[in-house]
Chains A and B, each alone.
Chain A
Amino acid sequence: MAQTQNTSLLSAALIGPALLGAVTKLDPRQMVKNPVMFVVEVVAAFTTLLFLRDLVTGGQDLGFTGQIILWLWFTVLFANFAEAVAEGRGKAQAESLRRTRTETTAKRLAGAAAAPGGPLTAYETVPGDGLKVGDVVLVEAGDVIPSDGEVIEGIASVNEAAITGESAPVIRESGGDRSAVTGGTQVLSDWIRVRITAAAGSTFIDRMIALVEGAARQKTPNEIALNILLAGLTIVFVFAVGSIPSFASYAGGAIPLAVLVALFVTLIPTTIGALLSAIGIAGMDRLVRFNVLAMSGRAVEAAGDVDTLLLDKTGTITLGNRQATEFRPVRGVTPATLADAAQLASLADETPEGRSIVVLAKEAHGIRARDMARDMGSLAATFVPFTAQSRMSGIDIDGSSIRKGAVEAVIASLESAPALVGVGAAARVLQPRLDPAAAAEVRAIAEEIAKAGGTPLAVARDGKLLGVVHLKDIVKGGIAERFAELRRMGIRTVMITGDNPMTAAAIAAEAGVDDFLAQATPEDKLALIRREQAQGKLVAMCGDGTNDAPALAQADVGVAMNTGTVAAREAGNMVDLDSDPTKLIEIVEIGKQLLMTRGALTTFSIANDVAKYFAIIPAMFVGLYPQLQALNVMGLASPQSAILSAIIFNALIIVALIPLALRGVSYRAVGAAALLRRNLLIYGLGGILVPFAGIKLIDLAVSALHLA
C-alpha cells in the first residue's frame, strides 16, 4: 500500500469513477441516509414531473424553470460527486490491498502436532480460507501466513510490507509482545507454529479493506447530532417557504413553484449536507495515509476530544535505550581506571547500554576497545553474563575479576562470601575487601545520579568498588516542544514508566510532561485511566503488550501497535501499522482537524443564507410590491437572473469546497480562543460576505449569456 505517497486531491484517475458514482448514488435508498440532500432530490424530482407536464400542456417561463430544475439536479449530483471522490481515494487503497491478498494454502497441524514441541512434519495441506479459529498451522520460510494468528512456538522474520508498506522484515516470536502475525504477510526465514485467531473474511486485511473502502462506515455520534440539526433547519425553512404562497395571495399575487423551490433549496444547509460524509471519509483517509487504522469514525472523533494523553516513557519520550554519559570514580580512583574497567566488563555485553559504555570509554578517555578475539584467546577471559538473580555481569580476565551492575547488587556481592575468580589453574580466592567508606561514597553518587533521572551502575574490580557509570535516558529531541504544543491544545500529558519516582520525576521535568506515573503496573495504568474518566476526561494511550489490553480497551482512544500481541490489537480502537507511539500526537491533530472542518463548513453553510435571502426575496416579491426592489442590495439584473444566480451559486459552492472538505481545515495549536476567532472570521464572516460577491458575479455572467 502506497500510503506515504500523497495522491493529489483530485487526480484524473479518481474523477472518472467518481462521476459515475455521483449518478449511481441518486438511488433514493442511498440518498435517504443524507436527509438534506434527499429532500433536494425529492423536490427536484417533483418539479421535474410538473415541468414535464407543463412541457406537454404548455406553460410560462419554461426555459427559466428548466434551468432551475437543471441546477437542482446539479446540486444533488455535486453532493454525490463529493462523496464518491472521498470514497474513491479509499477504494484505490483497498484495491492495492486486495492485490496482496492472494490465494494461500496452509499447513494444518492436528492432534499432537498442534501442541508446541510436537512433530513438524505431520501436517495436511488445506486451502487458507478453510481454516477455523483455533486451528494450528505451520508456516515455514517462503510461506504466506494464511490468516491472522498468534505465534505459539518459534521465531521468524516476517515481511509485513503488505500492510505497512515497509519492506524491512520484522521479528515475530512466541511469548512476549511480538506474537501477533497478520494473514497475507510472508515468513522470510525460520518457521513458526501459529494458532489462527481470525476466520476467513474477518482477518485484519479484510477489515482494513472494509475500513478504507468505507463499507463499514457508520455515522459517528457527532454526525448524527449534526444531521438532526440540519434536518431541523430544513424543517424551519419548510415553514418559512411553505407559508409564502398564503402571504402572496393576501398581497394579491402568486409565486411560481420553481421560484419557491429555488428559495427553499438555497436556504436549507445543502453545502454542509453535501460535504458531511466526504469530510468524515477524508478524515479516516488521512489517518490511513498516516499508516493508522481507525476501527470506527467514532474513535477519530474521540481523538479530537482527548484531554489526557498517556505516553510510555521508553520509545515515546526517550530513545529506547539508556546510554552511558559519565564515569564517576570514588576517591582515589582515576576516571581512566574506572573507564578501563567498565569497558572491559562491557566488552561482551551486547545490550545497547553495554555498547554505549564501550563507546564512551573510547570517546572520553581514548581507551580503544580491545580486540575481542585476541583478548579472549591470550588473556584467558571469561564473560559472566547478566542474570536476574545476580543482577550483575562482568568479566574475569587476566587474573582479575570485574563486575558491573545495580549498585546494591554489587555492594551486596562484595559483602557476602569470598568470591572465586579466575579459571582453571589461575583460580584463586579473594578476600572481600569492601571498604565501608567507598560503599557510602558509591551510594551517594548513585543517589545523585538517580535524582537527575539517570541509572547508576556500580563497577568493582577484585572486590574493590571503583565507581559508578552514569546511564542516562536520552529524551528525544524536540519532544518538549511537542508537549508544549499539546498543552496549548489543552491536552495534559502523563508519562508512564517502570522507573522509580525519583528517576521518573527528573525525566518528566526534562521532557516537559505534565505528570508521570512511576513504577507503573498494568493495574496502575487502568486505575489512572478510570480516574481521569471519572472526572469526565477522555483518555488516549498506546500499547502493545497483552497486559496493556485492559487499559487499551478502557481508554477512549487506544492505539495498538501493529507489532503488538493479538490481545492488544483487539482491545484498541486504532492500530498503528508503523508501531510508532509518538503518532498519538498526530492522531489527536487529525481528529481535531476533522471536527474543525465539519464545524467550519456548517458555519459557512448557514452564514450563506443571508446573501441568498437578499438575492431571492426581492426578486420573488417585486411583482407584488415594486418597493421591495430596495432590498436588491447586490443590484442583480432581473428577478429571474437573481434567482438563477442564487441557485447556481448554491450548487457551485459545493464543488468549490470539495478540496477543503477532503484536505481539512488546517489545525494550529494556538489555543481554543485564537482558533475560534480565526475560524469565525474566515468561515462565519466569510460565509456571510462570499456569497454576495459570488452571486453578483454569477448574475453578471447569467445576464451576459442571456440565460435569464
Chain B
Amino acid sequence: MIQGWTLAGWIQIALFCAIVLALVKPLGLYMTRVFTGARTPLSPLLRPVECGLYRLAGIDERHEQHWLTYAGAMLVFHAAGFVLLYGILRLQAVLPLNPADQGAVAPDLAFNTAVSFVTNTNWQNYGGESTLSYLSQMLGLTHQNFLSAATGIALAVALIRGFSRASSRTVGSFWVDLTRCTLYVLLPLCIAYTLFLVWQGVPQTLAPYAEATTLEGGQQTIALGPVASQVAIKMLGTNGGGFFNANAAHPFENPTAWSNLVQMVSIFALGAALTNVFGRMVGDERQGWAILAAMGVLFLAGVAITYAAEGAGNPLLNALGLQGGNLEGKELRFGIPGSALFAVVTTAASCGAVNAMHDAFTALGGLIPLVNMQLGEIIVGGVGAGLYGMLVFVVVAIFVAGLMVGRTPEYLGKKIEAREVKMAMLAILCLPLMMLGFTALATVLPAGLSGPANAGPHGFSEILYGFTSAAANNGSAFAGLSGNTPFYNLTLGAGMLVGRFFVIIPALAIAGSLAAKKTVPASAGTFPTHGGLFVGLLVGVILIVGGLTFFPSLALGPIVEHLAGAAGQTFAAAGG
C-alpha cells in the first residue's frame, strides 16, 4: 500500500461511499416524486401548507414557464434576496436578537457576504461569532442557505426537464420548484438532521454567549447560538458558511467522528441523488448511474491522492526525522483520513465547509481541492449546480466525440446543435475568466499582493484558491489569504456572481432549447451513453478541457511547491 494510506483510513472512506450510494436510490425516488408533482408520504401533512403558500403568493401551480421567464423569476428572486440580506447585515445593530451587540457590517463586507450567500458560495470574509448577530445568522444566512440550495436543485430539475420533454415550450415553474424543494426536501431532512446534531453536542440556543472562568482564573467568552439548525442546512444545501469562523473544525459545529461522517454524507447526499432523479425522469436510470460513475472516478482519484499526500506528510519534516503524516491544521478527532476525505468532499461538492485548514495541507493535498473547484465542481457538486455543471460537460463531450459514431451528436435523443454548444461554451468560459483573470490581476496589483500570508508558490496558491473558490461558488478558503479588504471583497464578489449566474442562465437556455426539440428514438446506431465507454470519455473530456486550462497556474502553484518541497527547498524570502 502507498505510504500514508492505512486500512482503517480506507475503511472510513469506503463506509462513506457506501452510505452515499445507499441513499441515491431512495432519495432519488422521493425527489422525483416531489418534482413531478406525484404524491409523497409527506403530502398529507405538507400539501395544505404548499397550497396555502401558492394562494398567499397568487401562484397558479399549473402554470409553467418558458425558460426565459423561469430565468427572470430566478433573477428577480435573487435580487430581492440580496437586498434583504444586505439590509439585515447593515442594520443588524438596531435589529433584535443581537445579544453580543454586534455593530453594523461594513458595506464592502456586507456586499461580499450577501453575494456569497445568495450565490450558494458562502465565502467567509467575516468571522461569524465576532461579526454577526443571531438575527443575521438565522434570518439572513440560514434563510439564504435554504433558498440558494433550493434554487440550485430547481435549476437542475428544469434542465432535466429539458432532456425528458419533447416539443415543449416550458421547463416548469420556478416558484413551484422552489417551494416544493424547500418544503418537501430540505425542511424535513434538516429538522431530523438538526436533532441529530443537537444529540451529538452541537448548541442550539438563543441565549447570549457564555462567560467562563478558566483554571488560571481568566475570563473567557464562549460563543454559542442557534448553531445546529444552521449547520444542518449548510451541509445538506452545500452552502458551507459556518456559524463560527473555524467552520466545521470548531468543536461546537462538528463535535464527534460521527457528526463528521454524517456531515460529509449530507454534503453529497442530495447531489448524488439528483443523478438518480435525472435517470428516472429521462426514463433510464442507467443514464443517471453513468453520470454518477464519472463523478465517482474523479472523486476517488482525488481522495486517493490527497489522502496519500497528507498521510505521507511534509518531506521537509520527514527529512528531519519526524515520522507520520501531516497533522498541521487538522483536528485530531478527525485524523488524517477524516480530514483528507472532508477536504475532497467539500471542494468536490461546492460546499466549502472545512474541518481542517486547507492552507496547511501538503502541496499535493491542497492541489486536489483546487482542481476539484477548477473543474467547476461537477464531482457530485453543489446541490443541483453539480448536475447542471456536469450536464454542460456532457454536452461538450458528446459534441466532441459523438460524431465518431457517424451521426450528428445527440444525447438522450436530443440533437446537440449550435445553440447548445454555444451555451455550454459560455458556461465553461466564465470559470477560467474569473479564476485566472482575477488571479492575474491580484498577482500584479499591490492591493492583491497584500492578501497572501506566504511568499512564493504557496502565496500564489492562496490567491488562486481564493478566486477559484469564489467563482466555483465553493466558499472554502486557503486560510492564509486575508480577504476582508475592499479589493478582495469586491473582486471575489464579482467572481461569485459571474460563476453562479453565467452558468445558470446558459444552462437554462440549454434546457429551453432541448425541451423544444423532438426526441429521436434510440437505435443500434445511437451513441451509447450508459456504459463504461461513455464514463471514460466524459472523464477524459473533463480533465482535458476543464483541467488543462489550469495547468500553467497549477504548475506555478502547488506543483512547483511540491517539487521544491521534495527537493528540500523552501520559499522564505518575502515577496517571492
List the interface of chain A (C-beta within 8 A of B): 221-222, 224-226, 228-229, 231-233, 235-237, 239-252, 267, 301, 304-305, 307, 487-492, 534-538, 591-593, 595-596, 598-600, 602-603, 606-607, 609-610, 613, 617-618, 620-621, 624-625, 627-628, 630-631, 667, 671-673, 675-677, 679-680, 683-684
- Chain B residue with minimal CB distance to A225? B418
Closest Cβ of chain A to B309, distance in Å, is 16
A617 touches B523 (CB 8 A): no
- Chain B residue with minimal CB distance to A239? B432
| Residues of B contacting A684 in the complex (Cβ-Cβ under 8 angstroms) | 401, 537, 540
B413 touches A680 (CB 8 A): no
The 28 sampled A-B contact pairs (Cβ below 8 Å) are A228-B425, A229-B396, A232-B422, A236-B549, A240-B552, A241-B552, A246-B439, A248-B556, A249-B443, A250-B460, A305-B408, A488-B524, A490-B526, A534-B518, A536-B413, A536-B518, A537-B521, A596-B405, A599-B401, A617-B552, A621-B560, A672-B528, A673-B528, A675-B405, A677-B533, A680-B533, A680-B536, A683-B404
Q: Which of A248, A307, A593 has the largest number of chain B CB atoms within 10 A?
A: A307
How far is A645 from B403 in the complex, measured between Cα atoms in Å? 30
A249 touches B432 (CB 8 A): no
| Residues of A contacting B420 in the complex (Cβ-Cβ under 8 angstroms) | 225
Closest Cβ of chain A to B122, distance in Å, is 26
How far is A245 from B551 in the complex, measured between Cα atoms in Å? 14
Selected from B413, B418, B548, B576, the residue in CB contact (under 8 A) with A224 is: B418
Interface residue ranges of B403-446 to A (CB < 8 Å):
403-409, 413, 416-418, 420-422, 425-426, 428-429, 432-433, 436-437, 439-441, 443-444
- Chain A residue with minimal CB distance to B543? A610
B520 touches A599 (CB 8 A): no
Asked if B564 is at the interface of the complex by the 8 Å CB criterion, the answer is yes
List the interface of chain B (C-beta within 8 A of A): 166, 396, 399-409, 413, 416-418, 420-422, 425-426, 428-429, 432-433, 436-437, 439-441, 443-444, 449, 457, 460, 517-521, 523-528, 531, 533, 536-537, 540-541, 544-545, 548-553, 555-556, 559-560, 563-564, 567, 569, 576
B433 touches A239 (CB 8 A): yes
Closest Cβ of chain B to A375, distance in Å, is 58
B443 touches A676 (CB 8 A): no
Selected from A534, A603, A671, the residue in CB contact (under 8 A) with B524 is: A671
B549 touches A225 (CB 8 A): no
| Residues of A contacting B416 in the complex (Cβ-Cβ under 8 angstroms) | 225
How far is A240 from B399 in the complex, measured between Cα atoms in Å? 22
A240 touches B432 (CB 8 A): yes
Known pairs A613-B548, A667-B406, A672-B524; A603 contacts B400 (CB<8 A): yes
| Residues of A contacting B548 in the complex (Cβ-Cβ under 8 angstroms) | 240, 267, 609-610, 613
Closest Cβ of chain A to B207, distance in Å, is 48
Closest Cβ of chain A to B282, distance in Å, is 15
Q: Is the interface of B mostly helix, strand, loop or mixed?
A: helix
B429 touches A630 (CB 8 A): no
Closest Cβ of chain B to A11, distance in Å, is 28
How far is A627 from B561 in the complex, measured between Cα atoms in Å? 9
Known pairs A243-B437, A249-B443, A627-B563; A535 contacts B521 (CB<8 A): yes
B428 touches A252 (CB 8 A): no
Closest Cβ of chain B to A271, distance in Å, is 13
- Chain A residue with minimal CB distance to B522? A490
Closest Cβ of chain A to B532, distance in Å, is 10
Known pairs A239-B432, A676-B527; A221 contacts B533 (CB<8 A): no
B576 touches A222 (CB 8 A): no
A599 touches B524 (CB 8 A): no
A625 touches B408 (CB 8 A): no
| Residues of B contacting A249 in the complex (Cβ-Cβ under 8 angstroms) | 443-444
B400 touches A672 (CB 8 A): no
B418 touches A228 (CB 8 A): yes
| Residues of B contacting A237 in the complex (Cβ-Cβ under 8 angstroms) | 549
Known: A536-B518, A621-B552, A621-B555. 12 other contacts (CB 8 A): A237-B549, A239-B433, A243-B436, A243-B553, A305-B408, A536-B520, A602-B403, A613-B551, A625-B563, A630-B563, A673-B528, A673-B531
- Chain A residue with minimal CB distance to B546? A236
A679 touches B404 (CB 8 A): yes
| Residues of A contacting B537 in the complex (Cβ-Cβ under 8 angstroms) | 680, 684
Q: Which of B443, B444, B537 has the largest number of chain A CB atoms within 10 A?
A: B443
How far is A598 from B400 in the complex, measured between Cα atoms in Å? 9
B400 touches A602 (CB 8 A): yes
Closest Cβ of chain B to A398, distance in Å, is 62
| Residues of B contacting A599 in the complex (Cβ-Cβ under 8 angstroms) | 400-405
- Chain A residue with minimal CB distance to B560? A625
B402 touches A233 (CB 8 A): no
| Residues of B contacting A492 in the complex (Cβ-Cβ under 8 angstroms) | 523
Known pairs A224-B418, A631-B559, A676-B528; A304 contacts B552 (CB<8 A): no
How far is A301 from B418 in the complex, measured between Cα atoms in Å? 14
Q: Which of B457, B520, B523, B531 has the largest number of chain A CB atoms within 10 A?
A: B523
Selected from B406, B441, B523, the residue in CB contact (under 8 A) with A593 is: B406
Selected from A240, A243, A592, A683, the residue in CB contact (under 8 A) with B407 is: A592
Known pairs A609-B544, A609-B548; A228 contacts B460 (CB<8 A): no
- Chain A residue with minimal CB distance to B420? A225
- Chain B residue with minimal CB distance to A269? B400
- Chain A residue with minimal CB distance to B443? A250
- Chain A residue with minimal CB distance to B463? A250
| Residues of A contacting B443 in the complex (Cβ-Cβ under 8 angstroms) | 246-247, 249-250
Q: Which of A243, A249, A599 has the largest number of chain B CB atoms within 10 A?
A: A243
B556 touches A251 (CB 8 A): yes
Closest Cβ of chain A to B186, distance in Å, is 35
A247 touches B432 (CB 8 A): no
Top-6 shortest CB links A-B: A490-B525, A599-B403, A232-B425, A592-B406, A490-B523, A536-B518
| Residues of A contacting B528 in the complex (Cβ-Cβ under 8 angstroms) | 672-673, 676
- Chain B residue with minimal CB distance to A249? B444
| Residues of A contacting B541 in the complex (Cβ-Cβ under 8 angstroms) | 606
B556 touches A536 (CB 8 A): no
B421 touches A489 (CB 8 A): no
How far is A228 from B449 in the complex, measured between Cα atoms in Å? 37
- Chain A residue with minimal CB distance to B401? A603
How far is A627 from B444 in the complex, measured between Cα atoms in Å? 23
B400 touches A229 (CB 8 A): yes
How far is A198 from B520 in the complex, measured between Cα atoms in Å? 38
B405 touches A672 (CB 8 A): yes
- Chain A residue with minimal CB distance to B550? A240
How far is A682 from B523 in the complex, measured between Cα atoms in Å? 24
| Residues of A contacting B527 in the complex (Cβ-Cβ under 8 angstroms) | 672, 676
- Chain A residue with minimal CB distance to B569? A627
A676 touches B404 (CB 8 A): yes
Selected from B409, B519, B563, the residue in CB contact (under 8 A) with A628 is: B563
| Residues of A contacting B441 in the complex (Cβ-Cβ under 8 angstroms) | 246
A680 touches B401 (CB 8 A): yes
How far is A603 from B402 in the complex, measured between Cα atoms in Å? 10
How far is A671 from B522 in the complex, measured between Cα atoms in Å? 12
- Chain A residue with minimal CB distance to B562? A627
| Residues of B contacting A677 in the complex (Cβ-Cβ under 8 angstroms) | 533
| Residues of B contacting A603 in the complex (Cβ-Cβ under 8 angstroms) | 400-401, 404
| Residues of A contacting B556 in the complex (Cβ-Cβ under 8 angstroms) | 247-248, 250-251, 621, 624-625
| Residues of B contacting A252 in the complex (Cβ-Cβ under 8 angstroms) | 576
A233 touches B404 (CB 8 A): no
- Chain B residue with minimal CB distance to A237? B549
How far is A619 from B161 in the complex, measured between Cα atoms in Å? 48
| Residues of B contacting A536 in the complex (Cβ-Cβ under 8 angstroms) | 166, 413, 517-521
| Residues of A contacting B552 in the complex (Cβ-Cβ under 8 angstroms) | 240-241, 243-244, 247, 617, 620-621
B405 touches A676 (CB 8 A): yes
Closest Cβ of chain A to B48, distance in Å, is 41
How far is A657 from B201 in the complex, measured between Cα atoms in Å? 66
- Chain B residue with minimal CB distance to A598? B403
How far is A222 from B399 in the complex, measured between Cα atoms in Å? 10
| Residues of A contacting B440 in the complex (Cβ-Cβ under 8 angstroms) | 242-243, 245-247
A229 touches B399 (CB 8 A): yes
| Residues of A contacting B569 in the complex (Cβ-Cβ under 8 angstroms) | 627
